[in-house]
Amino acid sequence: MHGPTAPRRRATTLLCLALGVAGLGVRPEPAMATTVVDRGIEGLVAVSERVVVATVVDVRVRAVGEGTRLRVETESHLRVERTLVGSPTPQTVVLTTPGGSVRMGGVMHHHRVPGAAVFEPGERVIVFLERTADDRLVVAGLALGKFTLETGTDGHAYARRTVDAERVAFGPGERAVGPLRVVDPPAEDRLGAGALIARIRRAAGARVATPAGWVP
């Protein structure tokens, strides 16, 4: 099985660095707004090294740097249940996401990044993992790359995501430049878990790592 090509990974990394936020196609705006480029499930699969089903076991917030360079980031520890796409995954993965709240010197420091994925201990998720240039795992597309698994009132398994940011959509062949077109949250923010995994399998091609018909 093979992950995203090196040129594709480099292109994604350069975009992330240029935009100043880890994740696929994110542009910081004034007043802490964020615009997220939504290329759909297939686009997330294309830039992800792995896609996994996992349970959040621990969340740790830390401050990095000092003075005006101080930033807050969160490390989420996930226990992997199954790898859907990519090479075999360690039993536990650690994801870094921007923002969080941490106490330093008796003072709470809060750093909220709109559009960033937020993890809660005990939460069961499907998450798209992208590797950065400094070899850290992050959620591809910020909150777009994280689905929470839940049981609906009908007893069926669903995958739901929440994105607190404006979104823009680009069709096949379009590039993330020029005027941005804001779109409403798509219907794929809440899918049957089986339907989501089927789409991931189709998009992954030879990189798929789970049998057809498996539902979490």
150-160 pLDDT, tens digit each: 999 999 999 99
DSSP H or E run through 26: strand 26-29
Asked if residue 212 belongs to a domain, the reply is no
Comparing 46-60, 70-84, 121-135, the range with the smallest average pLDDT is: 70-84
Q: What is the pLDDT of residue 34?
A: 64
Asked if residue 215 belongs to a domain, the reply is no
Asked if residue 216 belongs to a domain, the reply is no
Q: CB–CB of 138/116 below 8 Å?
A: no
Q: Given phi > 0 = left and psi -120 to 50 = alpha, else beta, which region is 32?
A: left
Asked if residue 1 belongs to a domain, the reply is no
> Is residue 140 helix, strand or coil?
coil
Asked if residue 128 belongs to a domain, the reply is yes
Which residue range is the domain that position 156 belongs to?
A: 6-207
The pLDDT-based confidence of 134 (bands split at 50, 70, 90) is confident
Asked if residue 31 belongs to a domain, the reply is yes
What predicted TM-score, i.e. pTM, was given to this entire model?
0.74
Asked if residue 86 belongs to a domain, the reply is yes
Residues 69-78 have pLDDT tens digits of 767 888 899 9
Domain count within the chain: 1
Asked if residue 174 belongs to a domain, the reply is yes
